[in-house]
Chains A and B, each alone.
Chain A
Amino acid sequence: MIRYAFTKLWQSALTLLLASIVVFIGVRMLPGDPARAMAGEDASPEQLAAMREQLGLNASLPHQFLTYLGNLLSGDLGNSTRTGTPVVEMIAATLPVTLWLSAYAIAIAVIVGVLFGVIAERFRGRWPEWFTNGFALIGLSVPNFWLGILAILYLAVSLGWFPASGYVDILSDPLKGLYYLTLPAIILGTSLAAVIMRQTRASMIETMSTDYVRTAKAKGLSGGRVLLRYGLRNSLIVVVTIVGLQLGGLISGAVVTERIFALPGFGKLTLDAVFTRDYPVIEAVVLIITLSYIVINLAVDVLYSVINPRIRIGGSN
């Protein structure tokens, strides 16, 4: 188990290093010059040169990278070339918004997706299945920015049920915070819910026809118990795997959703940084996203072994 953890950690570190190299080079290949963006269009060549010097852009690329890496290891992500604010502070201010939004969206997606999936299996060939299948089709095929705009138009503006935009810190005012995040979370979670629903339905159909479900029924167990402890519990193994793969998409979805609902989150920070060629911020953002992928994968691995006892013991199977 310790060896397993050690291997995982080592792999994660390597992934991070590779990601940072790719980003470092990729960012510098983008058209546009941060010195010019900073100094302004009218800057004289001297001013431009001074700005380059100040930003450390005159050193060789490997030198720049090593400096960047050294700072990174000491926890210094540098300062924004645009505002001069430490990148760490900018991330600390925006990341929680995105994390709350994503967590909320995942919660909604899992609850709705699993529930609809079970309903679809239970009521095969009858109207509840048609309804849930219709939901899944819409969730998968309608882009969430359009869904978001519709939601703002009808649910927020016309009906006034939800605020159209804005953010309230969840920690300082949990109820109001959740209320403000509800509409964005629903929009962000829709396609994930659709994927989960389909997956749950498919694996429920499979598990409910297995021998052990029949044996469970032959024991005289109630339908509910057979459904939850025998059917759903086994179906979730597949569902968790798929959800883990889908979570990456959630992060990019969050960027768009935050834009629509004007949430001061990580997505907004990313877009702003890309538009102004804010190298340190872009690098940090991508690094954080990579890190979150790694963390999500680890979490899925752990969750997987919790619900599937066969792989629990140090991967002996």
Chain B
Amino acid sequence: MQQDVNESAFHDAGQIGTASGAPLLEVQNLEVSFGEAPVLKSVSFTVNRGERVAIVGQSGSGKSTSIGAILGLLPGNGHISGGTITLDGQIISGAGEQQMRQIRGRKIGLVPQDPMSNLNPVMKVGAQIADALAAAGHRGRANIRQRAVALMTEAGIPDAARRYSQFPHEFSGGMRQRMLIAISLAGEPELLIADEPTSALDVTVQRQILDHLQTLVDARGTSLLFITHDLGLAADRTDRIIVMSEGKIVEVGTPQEILFQPQEEYTRRLVAAAPSLLATVSGVVEVMPELSEVPDTLGNPILEVKGLVKEFRLRNQRGATFLAVDNVKFSVARGTTTAIVGESGSGKTTVARIILGLENASSGEALIDGMSISGSQAQDRRALRRKVQPVFQDPYGSLDPTYSIERLIDEPLRVFKVGDRSSRQARVAQLLDQVALPRGVAQRRPNELSGGQRQRVAIARALASEPEMLICDEAVSALDVLVQEQILALLKELQDGLGLSYLFITHDLAVVRQIAHQVVVMKSGRVIEDGSVEKVFMTPEDEYTRELLGAIPGAAFAR
């Protein structure tokens, strides 16, 4: 892989494969329609034996529809309306259910996207791998069990013999994904399709699992078709990248070609926006000066967190407690951005909730402008709440679907009894301008807007009460890269214009690089390391920080 990258040989990575013999999978002029409307248009690509190919695209680009068509598992009224799919010399588009059943599992394995929803919750995991083995022609209970345990062990599940009889809910996300990988390999397929296999997992887990998957695939000589939205990940893990957008193939090339010599405008934008690549490709020196220009702290910090501790009592275990936040302290200077980085369970969201006054600290305090929300009288608390406003991760879940956009945005104004009807209307229009949404959306409802637009609405809502600080909890994690870039740009613009301070909670170090001045790395409730972004990224002191930085996909293309 590394060598491939360094040899900048410009071989034709287009339609004709580079490996010897006929391609394993050949998709020609594929058109897929839902009802009458085609969603995939003349898609052609090949996967050679032993080759690793990535399909990169944003949501709605047609990458998942492509694999649905290959497996004959298109949802609803989706159907192949043109073109052919050839596997191993055999045309499989239009094949009957009976024939596809022979192909699925045995010739094409699938590692699905979300480990949480892809295992049958009421069936022991062992049984779920056993039936895949049985479908692939293995016989005999003891034999199947032995094979299943071996596969699970190979996929990196410790103590597989015991875990064989457990249920999915007893597995962590990473372990479930390993289980799904083991299942996908049960039929010894020649082609493995991995559909965003790690997008739901923490970066360090993601890296372990992808490394493992790569080893398994390499050892078997299996071809890999890797579906992802992350260009950095695709560049790291595959030999050839297919960029898709709006149901069409935009560009095909080797990772170097796509990253360093993109031919199409769309690809260029995608490369420019990819946060994981930005974090590494552009380097600190170019990005940092602009950020460092922000005036140094004037007077007292906007937020000061001192010795914050949060204990949760564990249910069903008398007296047992769990330290979600353990003696956390940091401060945020006025007009700057501090990012809290950590994986799931690190306590970063709990810290945010305490600052917002949604949760009480067990000890310690979070001071906003020198005052604590939980320690204040009702009246002061209202005033403090106006100063700090949240923007949450899920733009679908955090906006009431029955409210109009106007009502959503002016709700804080009504709650804090600011102005009258007409002045509030004017304020909503002004806020919509600020977040670059057309004023016309005021009367629409959230479900009529895209994810990025909704997040703009959430930001407008947060800005309504003229806060001094925004707490963004994974505010861009659910968005496609291009949209993510736009929202981050908007946040920077607002910071410059309004002098806002941000506390940015994220698991994505690449995003930190783009937006933050200071960074706090958390793990298991404790602050592992903190300091300026420059210092933490360039000279990380803690092993864990180094591990996190190393796990950013696309690191191989840093230099």
Name A residues whose Cβ lies closer than 8 Å to a Cβ of B.
Answer: 209-212, 214-223, 225, 229-230, 233-234, 237, 307-310, 314, 316-317
Is B104's CB under 8 angstroms from A219's CB? yes
Residues of B within 8 A of A229 (CB): 120, 123, 131
Q: Report which of B71, B101, B121 forms a contact with A310, defined as CB distance below 8 A.
A: B121
Residues of B within 8 A of A215 (CB): 110, 112, 118-119, 180, 183
Is A218's CB under 8 angstroms from B131's CB? no
Residues of A within 8 A of B112 (CB): 211, 214-215, 218
Q: Report which of A212, A219, A307, A308 forms a contact with B131, defined as CB distance below 8 A.
A: A219
How far is A212 from B114 in the complex, measured between Cα atoms in Å? 10
Is A234's CB under 8 angstroms from B183's CB? no
Contact residues of B between 34 and 83, Cβ < 8 Å to A: 71, 73, 75
> Does B441 lie at the interface of the complex (its beta carbon under 8 Å from any beta carbon of A)?
no
Residues of B within 8 A of A316 (CB): 315-316
Return A252 CB to nearest CB of chain B, in Å: 33
Is A314's CB under 8 angstroms from B316's CB? yes
Q: Report which of A214, A219, A310, A314 forms a contact with B132, defined as CB distance below 8 A.
A: A219
How far is A220 from B108 in the complex, measured between Cα atoms in Å? 9
Residues of B within 8 A of A221 (CB): 101, 105, 131-132, 135
> Does B544 lie at the interface of the complex (its beta carbon under 8 Å from any beta carbon of A)?
no
Q: Report which of B105, B113, B117 forms a contact with A210, defined as CB distance below 8 A.
A: B117
How far is A229 from B123 in the complex, measured between Cα atoms in Å? 8
* CB contact under 8 A between A212 and B118, given known A222-B135, A233-B123: yes
Additional A-B contact list (4), CB under 8 Å, known A218-B110, A309-B167, A314-B316? A215-B119, A218-B71, A220-B136, A225-B131
Return A306 CB to nearest CB of chain B, in Å: 10
Is B167's CB under 8 angstroms from A234's CB? no
How far is A246 from B484 in the complex, measured between Cα atoms in Å? 50
Residues of B within 8 A of A308 (CB): 121-122
27 chain-A/chain-B pairs, Cβ below 8 angstroms: A212-B118, A214-B73, A214-B75, A215-B183, A216-B120, A218-B71, A218-B104, A218-B184, A219-B105, A219-B131, A219-B183, A219-B186, A219-B187, A220-B102, A220-B104, A220-B106, A220-B187, A221-B131, A221-B132, A225-B131, A230-B123, A233-B123, A234-B122, A307-B122, A309-B121, A309-B167, A310-B167
Return B66 CB to nearest CB of chain A, in Å: 14
Return A316 CB to nearest CB of chain B, in Å: 6
Return A220 CB to nearest CB of chain B, in Å: 3
How far is A309 from B180 in the complex, measured between Cα atoms in Å? 19
Is B135's CB under 8 angstroms from A233's CB? no
Return B128 CB to nearest CB of chain A, in Å: 8
Residues of B within 8 A of A223 (CB): 97
Name B residues whose Cβ lies closer than 8 Å to a Cβ of A.
Answer: 71, 73, 75, 97, 101-106, 108-110, 112-114, 117-123, 128, 131-132, 135-136, 167, 169, 180, 183-184, 186-187, 315-316
How far is A13 from B87 in the complex, measured between Cα atoms in Å? 67
- The listed residue with most A CB atoms (<10 A of its CB), out of B117, B121, B136, is B121
Residues of B within 8 A of A219 (CB): 104-105, 131-132, 135, 183, 186-187
Tell me the nearest residue of chain A to B103, going by C-beta: A220
Return B172 CB to nearest CB of chain A, in Å: 15
Is A209's CB under 8 angstroms from B104's CB? no
Return A189 CB to nearest CB of chain B, in Å: 26
* CB contact under 8 A between A317 and B135, given known A209-B75, A212-B121, A220-B187: no
Tell me the nearest residue of chain A to B127, going by C-beta: A229
How far is A209 from B73 in the complex, measured between Cα atoms in Å? 11
How far is A53 from B183 in the complex, measured between Cα atoms in Å? 78
How far is A221 from B129 in the complex, measured between Cα atoms in Å? 11
Residues of B within 8 A of A216 (CB): 120, 128, 131
Residues of A within 8 A of B103 (CB): 220
Residues of A within 8 A of B110 (CB): 215, 218
Is A230's CB under 8 angstroms from B120's CB? yes
Residues of A within 8 A of B123 (CB): 229-230, 233
Is A212's CB under 8 angstroms from B135's CB? no
Is B122's CB under 8 angstroms from A211's CB? no
Tell me the nearest residue of chain A to B183, going by C-beta: A219
How far is A104 from B75 in the complex, measured between Cα atoms in Å? 40
Return B557 CB to nearest CB of chain A, in Å: 32
Tell me the nearest residue of chain B to A229, going by C-beta: B123
Q: Report which of A234, A314, A317 forms a contact with B169, defined as CB distance below 8 A.
A: A317
- The listed residue with most A CB atoms (<10 A of its CB), out of B102, B113, B169, B186, is B169
Return B411 CB to nearest CB of chain A, in Å: 33
Is A220's CB under 8 angstroms from B132's CB? yes
Return B90 CB to nearest CB of chain A, in Å: 16
Residues of A within 8 A of B183 (CB): 215, 219
Return B72 CB to nearest CB of chain A, in Å: 9
Residues of B within 8 A of A237 (CB): 122
Nearest 8 CB-CB pairings of A with B? A220-B105, A218-B110, A220-B104, A219-B132, A211-B117, A220-B135, A309-B167, A219-B105
How far is A214 from B71 in the complex, measured between Cα atoms in Å? 10
Is B121's CB under 8 angstroms from A234's CB? yes
Return B225 CB to nearest CB of chain A, in Å: 13
- The listed residue with most B CB atoms (<10 A of its CB), out of A212, A217, A237, is A212
- The listed residue with most A CB atoms (<10 A of its CB), out of B112, B122, B136, B186, is B122
Residues of B within 8 A of A225 (CB): 131
How far is A233 from B101 in the complex, measured between Cα atoms in Å? 22
Residues of B within 8 A of A220 (CB): 101-106, 132, 135-136, 187
Q: Report which of B113, B118, B122, B132 forms a contact with A309, defined as CB distance below 8 A.
A: B122
How far is A179 from B121 in the complex, measured between Cα atoms in Å? 41
How far is A221 from B131 in the complex, measured between Cα atoms in Å? 7
How far is A219 from B118 in the complex, measured between Cα atoms in Å? 12
How far is A23 from B16 in the complex, measured between Cα atoms in Å? 84
How far is A211 from B114 in the complex, measured between Cα atoms in Å? 8
* CB contact under 8 A between A222 and B101, given known A310-B167, A314-B316, A317-B169: yes
Tell me the nearest residue of chain B to A236, going by C-beta: B122
Tell me the nearest residue of chain B to A222, going by C-beta: B101
Residues of A within 8 A of B128 (CB): 216
Return A128 CB to nearest CB of chain B, in Å: 19
How far is A205 from B183 in the complex, measured between Cα atoms in Å? 25
